[in-house]
Structure 1
Amino acid sequence: MRSTFGGLGTMVRGLNTQQVALETMGHNIANANTPGYSRQRANMTTTYPQTIYGQGGTFQIGTGVSVQSVTRIRDAFTDKQMWAQLKSLGYANAKSDALARVEDVYREPTDLGLQALMDKFWSAWKTVADNPADLGGRTVLREQGVALANAIQTSAKDLDNLISDINSTIKQKVTRVNEISEEILALNKQISRIEMGDLDHANDLRDRRDLLVDELSQLTGAQVTEDAKGNYIIQAGGATLVDARNTTKLKYKEITPGLEPTDADYGFVRTTIIVDSPGPEVLANFSGGELKGLIESRDVDAKNELDNISTMSKFLLKEFNLIHRVGYGRDDSTAYNFFGAQQTAAPANDNYTDAANWAALFGTATPTDGDWIKALTVNKDLFDEVSGLDRIAAKTANSTDLSVGQSDPNSGAATVGGSYSGSQTKDFEVYIIGRDASGRVTAVEYRTRTNGGAWSGLATATATTTSDPYLFTLSDNMTIRIATDPDNTLGAAGSMAGDRYSFTVSQGYASGDNALRLAEALRSDVRDTIDSIDPAFTDFTFGTGISLNNFYKSAIGTLGVQAEEAITLVERQELVVSQVDVWRQSVSGVNMDEEMTDMIRFQKAYNAASRVVTSIDEMLDKLINSTGIVGR
């Protein structure tokens, strides 16, 4: 016989069940915008039936409903896809950010970029080649050299600062990885304790743990498995960061002797990440994530750009200096470097391949790639107030190399000087038309012809009388001094009868021809030029057909392509992650329309159960208060 109050118990269970369902729905709505939240569902099941014995035998009658469990709606497969894509996104973001900062180092394309400064340096050499006697042009050239050297030095320092910033970021990321590992371990313990015996579900704790794994995957490219007790086993960098009982910390170390020393070429600290465990140190090796991107940006991308800057510095200190060293200044000085420290003696073969030649430039016989950058300054000897500008080697020949013919060998010897500003071979003939009693020449006249053509008319030379012998300035910036001698013979002006001095200035003596060679060295392959100067030179900085200008353009172009590829990778990964997130949200996300529908459904069920309770209550009231009163 069924209990009189059995139906009331059934409805009370129904009320309680619908209330739990409504509260679960309310929890979903409250967390609709909570990062990482997975919607939850109250799983209802019928309660055990009651056996009733009737006239026809036994039968089962239901006793209502109860909430068997409250579970979260989550797709483990989608989570694994998300973690794999977040690993790639973290790597791409780190690479893209670092490459963008490397591009900023070169300041291209702006007036402050290296390309603009190299163009100005080239233009300054062309100006000196066109007007080699102009001190203003030489001053501009020297200062453009300073600007270029400073820009190269600044670029190297900016890259060094970038590397330092990357090291600091790596340190912060490692600290965050260890914090996440500790929190996941604590969640593992709480979840396994709550879910012991498969009687309960730690829904909110699991959401928090999965959200931390999202972050950890983006940082390290972590791989996640789950054991039978619900613990996450997380591996990254070649170590098990988290298991059911322990965490393995990653350790940030600036210098690890024998494993990752300070960079040998440029001296920056190559920070390492090691697994903090007993025994020999083991380097963490990440398969993806931000840490892999940061390490690669520092050790590959930034290092490559330092190598490019070092290569440019080598060219300027080697081949460019060689061409300058063999040239001559306005004062016939030679063997001066344009860049770097001045050596006390000319280096063997002028090529800096002999270690003995490096002491003045680097202070060491074994310079590193970084030493070439540090040595790149304009030679301080070119800043000498008296003769610094004159030492800029704009011509390829020395006036002392010119032989001067004399009509009378017994007359005073002549010395030719100056800076030839012509561009063709020119013959000079100089005649004495004035002298004093001691034999000092006081006046001359001269004529010239170009490339063996007709002679010009006679011209009188300007004399400088502050020295003995007097200095006479001829055309094209050439000068001549004639030694005081009693045998100096006079001729009448215009007669060409006095002592004659003749010499020829070839095009190679032009005071701008070496400046032109130096200008061309910036934009053309210097192999032919160097071979004509020093056939023994073999230590060329660039390959065949490559100049400083196109080397730099190629380096900038390569960097631009790499940066663009990194941006494209980021955009592609963001799209993939967004799509996977859509899939995840379609399963786990809170849909307000669906929750409102459930709210109406549960509310109706609750109201209906309440009405049944009211009906049963009325029946019991009738039974208790209105029966058994006949005859009273």
Structure 2
Amino acid sequence: MSKISAMMDTGKRSLMNSQTSLQTVGHNIANKSTEGYSRQRVELLSNTPIGEGGLQIGMGARAGVVTRVNNPWLEKQIQKEGMSMGFEDSRADAMGRVEQIYNEQNNKGLNQYVTDFFNGFRELSNNPESLASRTMVRESATGMVKDFARVTSQLRGVQEDLDGQIKTTVGEINQITKEIASLNEKIQMVEVQKTPANDERDRRDLLLKKLGEKIDITWAEGKDGLVSVTAGRTAVLVSGTGSSELKAQQTDTTDRMEVFFVGTGTPSNITSQITGGRIGGALDVRDHVIEDLLGHVDKLAYTLATEVNKAHIEGYDKTGKPGVLFFEQPDSEKGAAAAIGLNKTIFNDVSRIAAAAQPDAPGDNTVANVISALQYRQVMDGGTSTMDDYYNTQVGQVGAMAQRAVKAQESQKNVINQLSNIRESVSGVSLDEETTKMIEFQKTYDASARLIKTADEMFDTVLNLKRM
């Protein structure tokens, strides 16, 4: 009788194993499209056999643990490459906007306005007494001044937009770190019972990847299953079941958005530590690329105003009066592109434009020729390039940087896609495979039920023998 009872116990455990396996298969199928999900499987272990005489009688199988099929090294590599992906995405987007500001093909750009300005003086040199030519000089100068301001304003606009993106991203980071800390607590509560917290770990792995896309982080998992996350070099965002926040705000020393780590003490500025993720890409374009471009356009505006004023003030206007400053001279090179403006005296009276080198010389065009020739004089880069060459070099560099940013983005996207495909082959859910397993476990369940039925019939037979 005891052996028949053992058969029924074995069949019962087999039924339970099949139920658990079918439940796990259903869980896998339901999460086929869940981002970051790793398929799970039931690890079956042979049950402890019993000894009878010189025999070891097997007692079937039992469900040991439900594990997830996951490669932690691959997950960490995806997270690391995702950090680079976030950087390249942010940089490519920002450089695309900067490139449009310098788009000389589809729009009339600054180079054309500068050329029109010098062409106005060439026209004036052909007819120094013409008020129409002088008016054309004034209008071309006004258009050029406005375009200098446009370039500066649009570059500053991109910086302000990047500031807004940084502030928004910091808010998203704080939400993610709170959830990671909460998942740490849940994982600890589950795994203290020696049971893997599969779904919680999948979610935490996904959040670490998303966090890395936004800011460069380093993280490590302790023996207790809790992860610690650090942004930059010193900002500990997650430690155990607690989290700290970042804050984006402007400082007294700069009008740009800075990132601060709000820990237990005084908030510390970690902006210089951030070199990866979307924030790192935004900071790189905002603080290096755009600031360099602003410096170049300021230098061009300051040099142009200085050289034109130097020549113009030496000349004489239409009525023989000494020349005045053609432009309002910027105080310094920094901010010159936004500060440069046409002298109000000339704006109100075009006859004050100086074309002659001598007073009372109506046909004299010496100064007009000198100013028009400035376009081709090597006055930039320490006397090694013209204003045209200098600006065109900047346009070319912007185009090259934008192209490199797009290529780097595409290259990194290919790396991410390749790693994602590998992860899918390892941890992803295959409906065909799960269907096959479902049929297999269904047949196992049927066979287990038949075993129990057979044992039950054997009981009846034994009981009937006793009644006879």
The alignment's TM-score, normalised by the length of structure 2, stands at 0.95
Residues 99 and 563, structure 1, Cα contact 8 Å, conserved in 2: yes
Report deviation, 1:133.
2.3
Matched, 1:520 2:366: no
Q: Deviations over 1:484-509 (max 9, x none)?
A: xxxxxxxxxxxxxxxxxxxxxxxxxx
Matched, 1:59 2:55: yes
Residues 83 and 221, structure 1, Cα contact 8 Å, conserved in 2: no
Q: Which residue number in structure 2 is paired with residue 228 of structure 1?
A: 223
Q: Which residue number in structure 1 is paired with residue 334 of structure 2?
A: 369
Listed as ranges, the matches of 1:41-52 within 5 Å are 41-52=41-52
Judge which range, 557-566 or 105-114, deviates more: 105-114
Q: Which residue number in structure 2 is paired with residue 270 of structure 1?
A: 256
Which structure dedicates a bigger proportion of its chain to helix? 2
2:84 alignment partner, one of 77, 85, 88: 88
- Taking the aligned partners of 2:37 and 2:188, their CA distance within structure 1 comes to 19
Q: Which residue number in structure 2 is paired with residue 9 of structure 1?
A: 9
Quick one: which amino acid aligns to residue 96 of structure 2? Answer: A
Report deviation, 1:251.
2.1
Q: Which residue number in structure 1 is paired with residue 386 of structure 2?
A: 547
Report deviation, 1:181.
0.9
Q: Deviations over 1:561-591 (max 9, x none)?
A: 1111111111111111111111211111112
Q: Which residue number in structure 1 is paired with residue 32 of structure 2?
A: 32
Matched, 1:103 2:99: yes
Question: Secondary structure at the residue paired with 1:394?
Answer: coil
1:211 alignment partner, one of 206, 223, 239: 206
- Taking the aligned partners of 1:586 and 1:107, their CA distance within structure 2 comes to 44
Report deviation, 1:71.
0.8
Question: Secondary structure at the residue paired with 1:112?
Answer: coil
Matched, 1:237 2:232: yes
Residues 299 and 333, structure 2, Cα contact 8 Å, conserved in 1: no
- The structure with higher relative contact order (CA 8 Å, sep 6+) is 2
Residues 323 and 352, structure 2, Cα contact 8 Å, conserved in 1: no
Q: Which residue number in structure 1 is paired with residue 172 of structure 2?
A: 176
Q: Deviations over 1:194-234 (max 9, x none)?
A: 0015x201111111111100111111121121101110111
Matched, 1:322 2:301: no
Residues 313 and 373, structure 1, Cα contact 8 Å, conserved in 2: yes
**Distance 1:277-1:628 versus aligned 2 partners, 3 A rule:** closer
2:274 alignment partner, one of 286, 289, 301: 286
Residues 86 and 221, structure 1, Cα contact 8 Å, conserved in 2: no
Matched, 1:302 2:267: no
Residues 219 and 228, structure 2, Cα contact 8 Å, conserved in 1: yes
Residues 107 and 114, structure 1, Cα contact 8 Å, conserved in 2: no
- Taking the aligned partners of 1:120 and 1:184, their CA distance within structure 2 comes to 59
Listed as ranges, the matches of 1:399-418 within 5 Å are 399=360, 417=361
Q: Which residue number in structure 2 is paired with residue 390 of structure 1?
A: 351
Q: Which residue number in structure 1 is paired with residue 128 of structure 2?
A: 132
2:436 alignment partner, one of 594, 597, 600: 597
Q: Deviations over 1:528-584 (max 9, x none)?
A: xxxxxxxxxxxxx53223111111101111111111111111111111111111121
Is the radius of gyration larger for structure 1 or structure 2? 1
Quick one: which amino acid aligns to residue 48 of structure 2? Answer: Y
- Taking the aligned partners of 1:375 and 1:293, their CA distance within structure 2 comes to 30
Listed as ranges, the matches of 1:138-537 within 5 Å are 138-197=134-193, 199-238=194-233, 239-255=235-251, 257=252, 261-262=253-254, 269-284=255-270, 285-340=273-328, 362=331, 367=332, 369-370=334-335, 372-384=336-348, 388-399=349-360, 417=361, 419-420=362-363, 510-511=364-365, 513-526=366-379
Q: Deviations over 1:379-420 (max 9, x none)?
A: 111133xxx222222222223xxxxxxxxxxxxxxxxx5x11
Matched, 1:560 2:413: no
Matched, 1:627 2:465: yes
Q: Which residue number in structure 1 is paired with residue 409 of structure 2?
A: 570
Quick one: which amino acid aligns to residue 312 of structure 1? Answer: L
Quick one: which amino acid aligns to residue 386 of structure 2? Answer: S
- Taking the aligned partners of 1:108 and 1:604, their CA distance within structure 2 comes to 71
Residues 121 and 141, structure 1, Cα contact 8 Å, conserved in 2: yes
